[in-house]
Amino acid sequence: MQAVILAAGEGTRLRPLTRTRPKPMLPIGNRPLLEHVLEAGKAAGIDEFVFVVGYKRERIQSHFGDGDDWDVDIEYAVQETQLGTGHALLQAEPHVNGNFLALNGDRIVEPSAISAVIDERRETGRPVMAVTRHRNPENYGVVELDGQTVQSIEEKPPAYTVKTDYINAGVYGLGESVFDDLRATESDGELEITSVLRDYRDALRAIRFDGLWLDVSYHWDILSVNSRMLDRMGSKPAERAAIHDHATVVEGTALGSDVRVRPGATVLPGTSLGDNVEVGSNAVLSNSVVLPDATIGDGAVVRDCVVGENASVGANVTVEGGETDVVVDATVHGDVRLGGVVGDNAALSGGVTVAPGTVLGNKARAESGATVSGWIENDAIVRRG
């Protein structure tokens, strides 16, 4: 069975990191999020993939090519304008033959869930979707069930109306007829897969699973998903990583190629260091994702932070980390663990303090001794006082 992976979106809630890369190329354990999705599909027995790409698609196509490095076949369909998941799926129609699987490119799912959806589709010939439990179902598509039959799907309903904790896991077993159904579905500008699934009603089958399901929607998700995947992957520094004898790198970390960890530095669990990252003497990193070519200065303390590509965190900078409230799209997200985000090519000079929840834009700068908080625009300069 083929798998169609929807990977065309930008991920606006993840700016500034998605200004220069599509959301599925954000790093998790030093590998793109989309690579984890691909490998889950392969582990479920799939070896033919169609990637629906769009926003900055060259980043995806140059990384994955034709799939030879993963011993699979990859074809590409292009969604020129991002008009919803249903519209994205329609772009894959010329590449699909017979039954197929559809997956979201920004969610890591247990391979056993994928296998179960495939088996159910083959056995029954009915449309199938995977569902899983979530402690905050109101943030997703809430699914009401009658046994194994889907009764309703409601996208992000008010929390006080939610009667179940089952959500749409973003794994679908479908047939070619879904393309005609999508074309026949009215939309108000964006066409979603769930618009068609709601019309299937009693025909739609649910596969329940309790295994791994990880979603990246917000900055803090990068950190929590990275930590979870490091726990599963185990620690394995790249061959050319240079760790000083007097530095400490503990289990539950990932180090890329040509990483340099200087004397007295400490790299604690949940931390991924991309290729060519340098960590200065006596610096401390904890639960952080540092993209390639970034520099962490001597004595810096960086906790619960995403540091962008080629960014510079100066000597004695403090990103204190911890839980805070963050506003995204006028919604307050309470008690999330986010020390901060430092955009690509941004620079924090010596002695800067970063308040929890800060997002520093691409190429922004904070001068020595400044305190940075809130949302700092791209190219901005923050001065002390």
Three-state SS sequence of 174-228: ECCHHHHHHHCCCCCCCCCHHHHHHHHHHHCEEEECCCCEEECCCHHHHHHHHHH
Q: Are 185 and 75 contained in the same domain?
A: yes
| Residues 8, 280: Cα–Cα separation, whole Å | 37
Place of tokens 């033959």: 97
What pLDDT is recorded for position 119? 94
10-residue mean pLDDT profile of the chain (385 residues): values are 94 94 95 96 96 96 96 96 92 95 94 94 92 88 86 82 89 93 84 87 87 93 95 73 91 93 96 96 98 98 98 97 90 92 97 96 96 95 88
Give the end of a domain, one of 193, 215, 237: 215
Which DSSP letter does residue 361 get? P
Give the domain CATH number at 296: 2.160.10.10
Give the end of a domain, one of 215, 237, 270: 215
| Residues 256, 279: Cα–Cα separation, whole Å | 12
| Residues 146, 118: Cα–Cα separation, whole Å | 21
Q: Are 230 and 208 contained in the same domain?
A: no
Q: Which domain holds residue 290?
A: 223-382
The count of other CB atoms within 10 Å of the CB of residue 277 is: 27
Domains in the chain: how many in total? 2
Q: Are 252 and 307 contained in the same domain?
A: yes
Q: Are 132 and 40 contained in the same domain?
A: yes
Q: Are 302 and 177 contained in the same domain?
A: no
| Residues 383, 229: Cα–Cα separation, whole Å | 38
Q: Are 247 and 323 contained in the same domain?
A: yes
40 within 8 A of 108, measured Cβ to Cβ: yes
Give the domain CATH number at 129: 3.90.550.10
Q: Are 232 and 211 contained in the same domain?
A: no
Q: Are 241 and 299 contained in the same domain?
A: yes
What pLDDT is recorded for position 99? 94
Q: Are 313 and 269 contained in the same domain?
A: yes
Which DSSP letter does residue 317 get? -
Angle at 342 between CA 340 and CA 345, to 5 degrees: 180
Give the end of a domain, one of 215, 232, 260: 215
Q: Are 285 and 198 contained in the same domain?
A: no
What pLDDT is recorded for position 239? 65
Q: Are 105 and 159 contained in the same domain?
A: yes
Q: Are 15 and 145 contained in the same domain?
A: yes
What pLDDT is recorded for position 352? 97
